[in-house]
Every structure is written in structure tokens, then in C-alpha cells.
Structure 1
Amino acid sequence: MTGPGAAVRTLDLNFQGVPGVIAASVFDTGDGLAVVDVGPGSTLPGLESGLAAMNASLADVRHVLLTHIHLDHAGAAGTVLGRVPGARAYVHERGAAHLSRPGRLLASAGQIYGGEMDRLWGEMRPIDAERLEVLSGGEVLRLGGLEVRPLSTPGHAVHHLAYHVRDDLFVGDVGGIRLSDTQTPRAPTPPPDINLPAWRESIATLRALDAHTLHLAHFGAHPNSAGHWDGLLATLELDAARVREGLERGQGMDDLTGSFTRALLDDLRAQDPALPARYEFACPPWMSVQGLVRYWGRAAARGGEGS
């Protein structure tokens, strides 16, 4: 990379030794490198080797742009900033406190992953609040020679941001999971913040932007096309309906998770036989079920669909 006009690079972080599951996106701002979603602490060696392939290193990173604070996106941020005194992290205002004091976030994840926490996610170090650029969305950032526009895009998480930079749109998880060009994008719906109306609104916001390329953490660069967004909306509604209908039939969590997983993996297998195994690394179906069960339970308590 040789300046702020250079192309975005996708770095495969090789999560758990599996390629094409978690990516970081890197571009030159003219004032050091920007990395969008540095990944978990467990994949920091993958980030370093990807930078080395660009004839760069962590020392060249000045801007860590986080779409949200989930461990697979932001877990390594504190370690990166600890090694690079001149770097700053950018995060939504509703996620910033968890980066400064990650204990609650780690405790919550520990209830899910137990003894697998370190193997899966590695270390998450706190970040000094003074080194955080706290955003609400709608700002215009000037990073070196580039204008960067963070956008509030809830639906997957209340603290989710997308970043619009020139012809590139970095969409985190609100842009869905798409592990190959042939796969229809799929919405990852883990607890606790799934909000279907907000997600639809975020999609409407993003698809209206003038950008040529979408960058997904799961996984890589894809054309910004109507087909991408239409496919994501369709599968979002399909998966949500499958869970709602299972609940209405009185299915327990084990049966509901099993039937949802079989249907989802069958959908993916029909598009590419290699997709199911990789998808389960990128987004375990049981987590999507849990998030949608929570969403529908809250909606029912309010008498209809809602936040």
C-alpha cells in the first residue's frame, strides 16, 4: 500500500485454522494503516502475518475501526493498541465501556463457551478510555487523506456501526454472512440484541449509499448489488419465521435448534457442498436460534414485533 488511494486488502485470519471464516480489512489512510475489525485475540498471529505479506506490521496501524465489540471482531483491539502506542480505536458509544472494562463482556461469553474461551478467542485486554474515539454514527472522520463516515446500523447489535470510505462499505455483521460468491447472504442472529425492524432499516440505509464494494468480516469483498441486499432480507425473514413457527408449535429448545440447523445447512449445501462446515465456524446455528428465540419472546411480551 502506498497511500490513501490504494485498494482495500482482505486479510484472512484463519480462525481455528479454517480459511475464509473471519477477515480483517486493511487500507492506507496516508496517516498509517486502518484496520476494520481486528478479529479475536486468538487470531492475532494471522493478522500479523497478513500485514507482513503487505510489507507492513502492527507498528504501521494507526486506526482500529470496530463495527461492534463482539469477540470475533474486536477481541484483539486492546492487544493491538497495547503494542502500538500511537494507534486509536473507534467504537460506538454503546460499546465503548465494554472495551475499557471488558470483564462483563468476557463473563457473559464465558457462560456460553466455558473452558473453550481461551482456545477460541484468546486474550481481550482493556483499552484506556482516552484512546477510544467514541462514535454515535453520522460523524465525518478525517483519517489522513481519507474521509470516513461511520453509520449507526443496529439490528445485529445495538452498538453496531458500518463505515463508508470512498467506494467501499465495511458492513460488519449487519451485512450478513457470505462465505462464497454463490452463497445467499445470511443474517447472524446471536443474543442479546437482535432487532428485526432495526435490521431492515439498517439494510435500507446501507443499500442506498453510493459504494461499489461491500466488505464483510464473514467473509471478504463482494459487489454492492441489489441481489446481495435482497437475498439477505429474504433469508433474515426465512430464518426468523422458522424459529417463530417452531415456538408456535411448542418445540423445545433442543428440537427447535435441531430442526433449524438441519434446514439452514440444507439450504447452504444446495448452494455449495463445502458451505455447511465453514458456516458453522463463522456462525453456529444454535446461537442464531437463541437470539431469535429471545427476540420473539420480547416481541410477544409487547404484543407484537418490535425492538
Structure 2
Amino acid sequence: MRLRHIEVIQALLQTGHLGTAAEWLQLPVTEVEERLREAESELGFMLFASVRGRLQSTPEARALQVEIAHVYQALEPVQRLASSLKQYLAPPLRIIGTPPLAQQLLPQSIALLRRRLPDAPCRLLSSPTCDIVRSLLLRESDLGLSLHDPEHPDIHCQPLAHGKLQLLAPHGWLQPKQKYISLQDLAGQAMVGLEGHDPLSPALENKLQALRPAPSIQTRVQTHQMMRSMVEAGEGLAIVDPFTALGARTSGLDVCPLSPAVPISLYALTYRHSATPTAIQTLLAIITEQAEAMLAS
């Protein structure tokens, strides 16, 4: 009994109808009938009997059903291997971004890329900038997105868009229609701090600590997203990147930039000594357009 016979028997066991089995197998009904007759002729016994317009399996067919299931289980590794070989022929775009970008900017950008290049697989990861640089140097990623320039000799850093750091505050903390907040207005305020290495943090924190009285920072967290969550929980104020601040108003927070403004840029990071694939170039154009639209809003 050949594999094509087993496919027909399995389809008929599952559906009990020639037409439905033919649709399932994407074959003409006549070909399904022919394969069934071939299988029964080779085996020397009937597999199905027609009962009131449906095909009823014989005891012999039901006995074969267990072994047929084993055949399909044995085929699964072959199917997985074939899928992986296909991916190897079309390797995924390996993209890695800092958490605010991986959560706010990249999902929409990759969705737009999928519409333009539907056959371009993607892999998206989230890591801090230092890990992004390491991933690019080890050729584990094709493109990194960060809000910091790592200033590494083997990393090409291309600015894509520019924005400003934003203050997040509980609803009603800012005056109605207030467009900016002075650093001096943060003196003595309860604020959420950032734990760990962030290139923007030392300079900003030095300015905050120079205020009299200095802000009170009782809670420190690891990412800007966590800072936003702490503000939403009523833990105080926070200064975050503009992508983290996106949508904060709809979640009930007050948002405005600092004055004087503290600029921040979006950078594309690539390994300096490798060519940039066409798909990555297309994605960079999409990311730039999306980022500029988000920052303008």
C-alpha cells in the first residue's frame, strides 16, 4: 500500500464522504475513488461501504486506522525539516530593539513590511543597547534599533528621527493645556528613578539632584515602561523617552516635554563591515516614516 493510498484512507476515515475527502486532499473526486479502488484491490478486502450516502468504514479499515496514525506521526519530523530548510533558503530578518522600540514602534513597522514583502520572515527581539551591539558584532542580528549611539568603531549608527524626553504625571498634576514643564518645577517632587546603565540617566539625574530641594526618588526600576507603570500606580512622576510616553494620555496620565528640551534620537545600528539587505533598507524607510509620525503626534 502506497502513501497516496494511505492519504485517501485517512481522509475518508476522518470525513466519511468522498466529496469532502477530495476537498481536503485538493484532488478530483474521481481520483480519490480510483485511489480507494487501488488500495482495496491491493489489500484484497473492502475498506468502506456506502450506507445512506456516506462511506462507513469496515472493521478492517478501523484496524488499519491506528497504524495509519503512526505513519502520520512519523512524517511530522520530515515536515518540520522541510519547513526549516525553506526558512534557511529565505533567512529571517533578525531585528533587535530596546524595549520601548520593540513594543511601540517595531510591531507596526514590521506589519507594514509584511504587506510590501509578504515572503520576508522576521524575528524580533528586545534587549538593552549593550546587548544589541554584542548581537550585531556576533552576527546574530541584522538590524538594531536604539535611542542611544553606542559609539562603537564596528557599528554603523544612522539617526532616523528625533524627539524630546517627556514628563509623565498623574492626571490633573499639570495645568490644563500646559505645553512644557521646567526642571525647577520638579524640585522636591516624588519621582520614579531608573536602575542600571542608561546613557541619558547620569546627566539628567545630576540636573535633578542639583535642584533645591532635590526630588525624592524612593523607587527605581529597570525600564522606561516600568517607570510609566509606576506613575500609573501613583508612585510619582517620571521622565521617559517619547515612545514610552505614546498613548499615556489615553491611559489617564498627563504628558509634556521638559523645558529646556532634552533631545533624544532614534538610531539604526548595523554591523559596519557587512552589506545591508534590500529588505532591511525597506524596513528602515518604514521605521523612519512611522517614527516621525509618532513623534509628531
TM tier relative to shorter chain: under 0.3
Which is richer in strand?
2
**Greater Cα radius of gyration, structure 1 or 2:** 2
Q: Determine which structure has greater relative contact order: mean sequence separation of CA pairs < 8 Å that are 6+ residues apart, divided by chain length.
A: 2
